[in-house]
Chains A and B, each alone.
Chain A
């Protein structure tokens, strides 16, 4: 699995230094950030040039406001900024650029659903279509949209990684609110889906990949009851899963929570034999992280 993933990533790197969602596709910041983090775990000189080209691709594309766009084609800052900040912070080069990215993250927040929703939440929550605290602000996928679990988890992980350098009342407040939002959006019985635990009175089920990503963002509270409940829920959700993406995130999560992941790694390799992970760059990169000591990447 490890050699396969390394070979894939080296072969799939575009001439411009970035990676696309699949080999041959336009380079994007998400795939490039994960590929960079994955190749960093290799630790020998054979990948050094590839890492340097990836770092160049990323650092040349930072917007003036500190954000990163998804691709060259899309100029506005995107949710992938958190992933680039995380990767630059972990690599330990370009710290100033990582800090500018972190400051941009602090300037972003999910859309306010309005005072009426706030009032209803307090006085008549049963009248709301979704059961969530509308006053908590996390991060959206795209500007002017609502806060959702995954972009909030990415932003939290990146900000916590840079915490010693971004210490400010604002940063601490955003981290605290982001954590509260994640706990507020948790599904009954533990775990997370995209960000709605109840719609029109019906409980919605959690997703394994989103649960693992949220637990990674909250791993500095790993003894909390909600974390432990969600950890159990994640194991239960994985029963029939055949997906490199989900298994990779789950392995990284379990490793951060101190669990033995050898059996999960074997299962991930068997899944690769069946699906080839659909040739998705980010999955190959995450699988490489999950096959080595990639959990460190997310450790805060």
Chain B
């Protein structure tokens, strides 16, 4: 027979269990993945064209955040996607060149460029056709194809997908600083592609394919969150907004000059700011709205713009019809 005291104790435990379990499962991210601070700073610096000297602009942007890179290994992760004769698809080599010079001038031990393109297997073709190969040769900078890097298996630090674990390249994991260098572009599936979506490129294609289809099946927004939540290293974003892309991005859109470089150490805040620059409401972008809960700041009141004001560079980026709901901001 169950005595009264034991019955009450068991009943209490039974009624509390779902509550405790519910609390425990209320956030789909590990505690270690939480990196949101009270406020984030994002710098917007003017850069009229790729023909103007950009090293000092990049240096100014880095200095605003007091990054200490002396003796460190810095990995620059541009967005290198396709043959791009008009300079609209890929992060422009002039911006990458300026970043190499700037980080070297701050005493970085090595600055290397690394990418794992999503569609193109022929890295040599991408590098030569984009002008990146000649630039890297001039700088004697190393390029690492992340699709073929040695890898480590990491448990994902959030559970927005059901992937649970992914392989990450050792070049990225061993870096002292990872710099996401996307271009400001619309994206026909994700809405925008900026510093967080740019991290798709670090997932090795030799394992996951060209395209990295398994991430698409798992959900693009969800994969962006899981990948960014799992990257353990210090991060910095340097966004090429000198000429962006509007319309049917990330490949077939049209050039949209904005004349800015955007800097920040909170990817979510940088992406939210870039989205506002594009007159796209970041809270309408699924991955950004969710990232704002744990990865960084997305709401305007938590982001301090330093450098120039956002307003003077804001552009009305055209989006495809199915993404019109993102355009709740006006230019």
Contacts and interface: CB of A to CB of B under 8 A. Distances in A.
A283 interface: yes
Interface string B161-181: 000000100000000000000
A124 interface: no
A278 interface: yes
Interface in A259-299: 274-275, 277-278, 280, 283
A26 B214 CA distance: 24
Interface in A177-235: 193-194, 199-200, 202, 204, 207-210
- Interface size class on chain A is 35 or more
B41 interface: no
Interface of A: 21-22, 25-26, 28, 30, 70, 73-74, 78-79, 111, 140-142, 144-146, 148, 150-151, 193-194, 199-200, 202, 204, 207-210, 240-246, 274-275, 277-278, 280, 283
Nearest to A22: B148
23 contacts: A21-B148, A28-B148, A28-B206, A70-B207, A141-B205, A141-B209, A144-B217, A145-B214, A148-B210, A150-B121, A194-B119, A199-B188, A204-B251, A207-B120, A209-B121, A242-B125, A243-B128, A245-B122, A245-B125, A246-B124, A274-B128, A275-B133, A278-B143
Contact of B145 (A21, A151, A194): A21
B328 interface: no
A275 B145 CA distance: 15
Given A70-B206, A142-B208, A246 B150 contact: no
B255 interface: no
Given A21-B148, A200-B320, A142 B207 contact: yes
Contacts of A193: 119
B125 A243 contact: yes
A95 B201 CA distance: 38
Interface in B91-129: 119-125, 127-129
A277 to B, nearest CB: 6
A208 B121 CA distance: 11
Interface of B: 119-125, 127-129, 133, 143, 145, 148-151, 153, 167, 188, 205-211, 213-214, 217, 248, 251-252, 320
Chain B contact residues: helix, strand, loop or mixed:
mixed
B129 to A, nearest CB: 7
Contact of B124 (A30, A78, A140, A277): A277
Contacts of B214: 142, 144-145
B161 to A, nearest CB: 13
Contacts of B251: 204
B324 to A, nearest CB: 14
A140 B129 CA distance: 28
A208 B151 CA distance: 29
A73 B129 CA distance: 34
B17 to A, nearest CB: 34
A240 B126 CA distance: 12
Nearest to A25: B150
A207 B133 CA distance: 19
Nearest to B218: A144
Nearest to A145: B213
A208 B126 CA distance: 12
B120 A245 contact: no
A212 to B, nearest CB: 11
A111 B217 contact: yes
Nearest to B209: A141
A126 B127 CA distance: 36
Contacts of B119: 193-194
Contacts of A144: 214, 217
Given A26-B150, A148-B211, A245-B121, 4 more contacts: A144-B217, A150-B210, A202-B252, A245-B124
